[in-house]
């Protein structure tokens, strides 16, 4: 059973970079044809897809966030990473990593990130 676990700072200052890691256990992130997505959930905007990485090396991002987002993987650690630059209070949310293609069939528990000085 593949499990996903997000980790990273729970508090980030405005204008700084949010960095999160998703550690995948029970299976290799480089096997199969899955995409590895980051999705966030805030009270104001509900569920919002941030972007995804495919093991082929391709990435896709939400156009509304594209200029600030980078998603990458570290196969040696079986991890997927998210970097979001120039954060503001509007980036405060629970951040999830999720596996999928057309749908997300496996989610991490999520990690709350608050942007505040």
Partner 1 sequence: EIVLTQSPGILSLSPGERATLSCRASQSVGSSYLAWYQQKPGQTPRLLIYAASSRAAGVPDRFSGSGSGTDFTLTISRLEPEDFAVYYCQHYGNSPPMYTFGQGTKLEIK
Residue ranges in contact with partner 1 by CB under 8 A: 37, 39, 46-49, 52, 60, 62-63, 96, 102-105, 107-110
Nearer to partner 1, 17 or 114 (CB): 114
CA distance 15 to 26: 36
Please, what is the minimum distance in Å from the beta carbon of residue 93 to partner 1?
13
* Tokens at 38, concatenated: 């980051």
CA distance 112 to 102: 25
Pick from 47, 19, 52: nearest CA to 34: 52
Please, what is the minimum distance in Å from the beta carbon of residue 15 to partner 1?
27
Nearer to partner 1, 16 or 21 (CB): 21
């Amino acid at each position: 059973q593949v499990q996903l676990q997000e980790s990273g700072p729970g508090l980030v200052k405005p204008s700084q970079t949010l960095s999160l890691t998703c550690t995948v256990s029970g299976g290799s992130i480089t096997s199969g044809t899955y995409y590895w997505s980051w999705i966030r959930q805030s009270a104001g905007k509900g569920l919002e897809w941030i972007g995804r990485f495919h093991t082929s090396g391709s990435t896709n991002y939400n156009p509304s966030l594209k200029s600030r987002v980078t998603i990458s993987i570290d196969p040696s650690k079986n991890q997927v990473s998210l970097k979001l630059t120039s954060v503001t209070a509007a980036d405060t949310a629970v951040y999830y990593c999720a596996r999928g293609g057309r749908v997300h069939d496996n989610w991490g528990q999520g990690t709350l990130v608050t942007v505040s000085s």
